[in-house]
Structure 1
Amino acid sequence: MYALCDVNSMYASCEKVFDPSIRNKPVVVLTNNDGCICAACHIAKRMGVGKKFVPYFQVKDQLAAVGAVIRSSNYELYADLSQRMMETCERFAPHIHIYSIDECFLYYGAGSQLDYVPAEGWQAHAAAIRRTVWKEVRLPIGVGVGLTPTLAKAANHAAKKIEGYRGVAVIDNEQARRQILKQMAVGDVWGIGRRLSARLCDIGIHTAWDLSRARPALMKKQFSVLVENTVHELNGSVRLSWDDVRAPKQQIYSTRSFGQRITDKESLRHALVTHSGIAAQKLRRQAGLASAMMVFASSSPHDQEAYYRGSVLHRFTTPTSDSRVMANAIASVMNKIHKEGVRFYRCGIGLVDLVSTKNYQGDLFNTSKDNAELMKCLDVINAKYGRNTVHLAGQGIEQKFAMKRAFLSPQYTTRLSDLPVFECD
């Protein structure tokens, strides 16, 4: 059996955890640089003001009219609360797979007989997970239980979207499977996107139940093996799996738009070095080395000035994961990236042609300049005390390019100065 635990409107729910004054108000969270709506609580959605990826400036007056609370994305807070939620859910099952920042699968085993069955039954067990997460983390979640990951996803959809389930749904028999799948549109099935959904509707498959009754071989022939596996999963046969260790990335990019336009070369270099440090840390985490680095920066296509984009592919003499080597490489290509008079809106770097440290064979005539111990020390300190506690001087001290977050809430759990204060009479 599988259980899927999914936080309701993760970002908006996190904003309400430490601020009781906004728990009964519509809350909307914005993307980087306060550009678009990326999350909205159920109150905002009911009011019709929480549509995703709508530019904030277009609905600013509408949000103000209904008294919506606006928040900038507080990634530090969301990541910490996500970790606490995962640790709480982990106590309820032998195995856990973290699927995203707001979702995790719990796996209880399968075979001729279930390896684990809760004494209280699946319905009560799922309710206990939901209740415990709310009590200990104050995040509202939906819990769906099913014989396969896809059925667990379907049960979770019912728990959150179908009336009568109230946050918990279990598909452990034919009656429950039929009841839930008949109420699900085919586009709500895990792995069935908008375009695929339209194609399935064209041939008369409108609901998840219709898809479950399709012939798997025909679905493979007309669509793909993914759809074939989905049909099997909807009928209780496990076809999807995940590796205990995710495959390493083949490319690592770090890019972001600026909070305000920048024109000087030094500020642009600081921003690029900052991005190289972020990407290098991710590269070291997967025990990798980069043979080349893409460096790029551009103006905005929406500005009145002519659009400009500069990019350079820099190849390292020997593959590297050292932030210092990357920073020196950025300094050497700045004249090819920066252009006088350009108001830069965005920049970034990409580490490409990656190799594993375990498989890389060194070059006798080109020795590596990496200092693995120094980089390890850097990563340990920043992991313990927060990103950029220790960083390269090349990143600058006063960062003019910092992301715009005008509605940022306190980082209640990761910054000492933002710790909640309680006063007792």
Structure 2
Amino acid sequence: AKALKIPDLQPYFKIKPLLARHRVHVFSSNYELYADLSSRVVAVLEEFAPQLEVYSIDESFLCLDGLSVDWRAYGLQIKQRLWRDVRMPVCVGMGQTKTLAKLANHIAKKSAKLEGVCILHAVDDWHAVFKKLPVEKIWGVGRRLAKRLNRLDIYSVYDLKVANAKHIRRQFGVTLERTVAELNGERCISVDTQPINKKQIYSTRSFGQKVQQLSDLQQAISQYASTAAVKLRKQNSVVKTIVVFIQTSRFVDNAYSNTVTIALPYSTNDSCTIIAAAKQGVARLYRPGLAYAKAGIGLVEIDDATAIQLNFFNQYQSAKSLRLMAVVDQLNHQQQQIFFASSGIDPFWRMQRQMKSPSYTTSLEQIPVIKIT
């Protein structure tokens, strides 16, 4: 798809003929498989560094301070181990800072002669390459920020690297000033070995088929609320405020989209309480006669569960609720055993994943079988 220059987030039906013409294989999302493979990759990476930050499902930072090794050989060793143990092709970028490491990783992906490993050690030696790289290739510089930088004649990675840091701070703030420092080898962003709790948690999906009935919308929002609540409990947090939205397709004449914010009676991570509030929100937003294409919930006022403040009436999540949620999470740890009836049983609106690859590593029924004759 990248070779065909297909932009991100293109609807499948719009590019289906192009994909078929070029024999592009298409797969539906398989979140369970991706998460399992990601955990296997991280397990291998932990053997290579004393400090590791899991930045996302497909990206990690390793702090190699104190190691006396041949960096290129070390990078190749990481690649080879991941291919041998997980069959996962990766690129390795190394630098004195996280920003340089991210940039090195991008260069490693684009240059075949580097064999997937790029080391930005003597940064000044890379100025010729930096001049060819657009400024938006820098970690944290998106398209909007890039356009603002372009107006100051900052077009390339090199241009930002040699920019006046104080001037950048006045124009754009301390975050971009730190980026300039990091491009010059000054470490400003540390490797976070402990996962940072999310301040907001969203669970949204497009429907496999359009939904018209309020009861079906409430089933969907119940499932999404349950998913969000599980994530909330995993980071030992509670929520006080939720946001619910529903929308039709943007391309119909009577297009409709609306959002409602709901304050919960007290801070909680109880799925039952969150689901009940989410269903009320959908009922307030619902307009009969429309075909809805998407719905979602956001947990937007999140606090640490150990720092709950009681309200005027001393309302709080009960010990019984805490025990119930703990049991549900424990039973669902390996494979979902329990779900809330309000989510429905095999609902028609569930996202269709007809082209989903098998869950090779997480389902006994889908383990690959090799037949030797």
Aligned to 1:73: 29
1:87 equivalent to 2:30? Answer no
Query: Match of 2:116, as an amino acid?
Result: G
1:134 equivalent to 2:90? Answer no
Aligned to 1:214: 163
Q: 1:194 aligns with which of 126, 137, 143?
A: 143
CA gap 1:50/1:77 in 2 versus in 1, 3 angstroms = farther
Query: Match of 1:380, as an amino acid?
Result: Q
Q: 1:345 aligns with which of 265, 290, 293?
A: 293
CA RMSD of aligned residues (A): 2.5
Residues 154 and 180 in structure 1, CA contact (< 8 A), matched pair in contact too: no
Alpha-carbon distance in structure 1 between the residues aligned to 2:277 and 2:139: 43
CA gap 1:218/1:258 in 2 versus in 1, 3 angstroms = same
Q: 1:231 aligns with which of 164, 173, 180?
A: 180
Aligned to 1:407: 355
Query: Match of 1:76, as an amino acid?
Result: E
SS at 1:384 equivalent: coil
Percent identity of paired positions between Structure 1 and Structure 2? 36
Alpha-carbon distance in structure 2 between the residues aligned to 1:80 and 1:414: 7
Aligned to 1:328: 276
Alpha-carbon distance in structure 2 between the residues aligned to 1:210 and 1:332: 52
CA-CA distance at 1:253 after TM superposition: 2.4
Residues 170 and 176 in structure 1, CA contact (< 8 A), matched pair in contact too: no
Q: 1:395 aligns with which of 303, 324, 343?
A: 343
List alignment gaps of at least 5 residues for structure 2: none
Q: State how 1:183-332 maps to structure 2 within 5 Å.
A: 183-304=132-253, 306-309=254-257, 311-330=259-278
1:101 equivalent to 2:57? Answer yes
SS at 1:154 equivalent: helix
Query: Match of 1:389, as an amino acid?
Result: Q
Residues 123 and 185 in structure 2, CA contact (< 8 A), matched pair in contact too: no
Residues 61 and 191 in structure 2, CA contact (< 8 A), matched pair in contact too: no
CA gap 1:260/1:108 in 2 versus in 1, 3 angstroms = same
Alpha-carbon distance in structure 2 between the residues aligned to 1:206 and 1:329: 48
Residues 49 and 62 in structure 1, CA contact (< 8 A), matched pair in contact too: no
Please identify runs of 4+ aligned residues in structure 1 that moved more than 6 A: none
Q: Deviations over 1:58-107 (max 9, x none)?
A: 22111111211111122221121111112212211111111111111110
Q: Deviations over 1:237-265 (max 9, x none)?
A: 11122544344333332222211012223
Q: Deviations over 1:179-236 (max 9, x none)?
A: 5434433332222223333444444444323332232223223433233222221221
1:354 equivalent to 2:302? Answer yes
CA-CA distance at 1:281 after TM superposition: 1.0
Aligned to 2:68: 117
Alpha-carbon distance in structure 2 between the residues aligned to 1:294 and 1:184: 39
SS at 1:374 equivalent: helix
Alpha-carbon distance in structure 2 between the residues aligned to 1:296 and 1:215: 44
Aligned to 1:421: 369
CA gap 1:367/1:185 in 2 versus in 1, 3 angstroms = closer
Alpha-carbon distance in structure 2 between the residues aligned to 1:202 and 1:361: 47
Residues 135 and 157 in structure 2, CA contact (< 8 A), matched pair in contact too: yes
Residues paired across the two proteins, number: 371
Alpha-carbon distance in structure 1 between the residues aligned to 2:155 and 2:276: 57
CA gap 1:270/1:117 in 2 versus in 1, 3 angstroms = same
TM-score normalised per structure 1: 0.79
CA gap 1:359/1:87 in 2 versus in 1, 3 angstroms = same
Alpha-carbon distance in structure 2 between the residues aligned to 1:132 and 1:79: 19
TM-score normalised per structure 2: 0.89
